[in-house]
Amino acid sequence: MSNLKMIVGLGNPGAKYALNRHNVGFQSIDRFARRHRIEGGRVQNRAMTIDTWITRGDSRAKVILVKPMTYMNDSGASVGPLAHYYHVEPADIIVVHDDLDMESGKLRLRRDGSSGGQNGVKSIAQHLGSQEFHRAKVGIGRPPGRMDPAAYVLQDFSAQEEEIFVPLREKVCDALECWLFEGIEVAMNKFNG
């Protein structure tokens, strides 16, 4: 049994995807690391990882930040072995990911549940053998008109969207800190308003 918590951000590796809507999980993890002045990291089990301590007041939490380098749809091939290696239970994992079915700019935390069609989340559930990990779902909205959703998620955020998503990434970081120190129920109550 470990008291290590795992924060996973979903996205696709490589510079051409860095600013995509689909990479809001990676972007949030990067923002969280900058906020806490965490640098470095290593490649481990096909992921970029950083294990560190996060401090809030007199409290400290041991955490590993994970960005799977497997491409979105196979994220579980990285997350599953890492969770096994570090003895992290599903209930001590939170996954930050984009959500097409939520209004753009909204954040919703969930205790567990189905993948909702998000292939990265589906892959993680398969590799963990459980859906009982937590989610920080970031709404990116539906594509306009008849645009293919796959093309939409692989587009960069527009300048207008960035006006919403810059503060939203900060809110995601606030929610992750709340989850770390106060648990999923408190975080849901605070951030699902």
Q: Which residues are identified as catalytic?
A: 22
Closest CA to 33 of 62, 54, 14: 54
Cα distances from 187 to residues 7, 73, 153, 193, in angstroms, run 14, 27, 27, 10
Evaluated on CA atoms 153, 154, 155, 160, the torsion sign reads positive
Could you give the residue ranges of the DSSP H alpha helices within the chain?
A: 24-35, 76-86, 119-128, 149-153, 159-182, 184-191
59-68 and 93-99 beta bridge pairing: unpaired
Q: Which amino acid is at 163?
A: E
Closest CA to 47 of 95, 114, 3, 111: 95
Cα distances from 177 to residues 29, 84, 158, 172, in angstroms, run 12, 23, 28, 9
Tokens 């306009």 correspond to what residue? Answer: 144
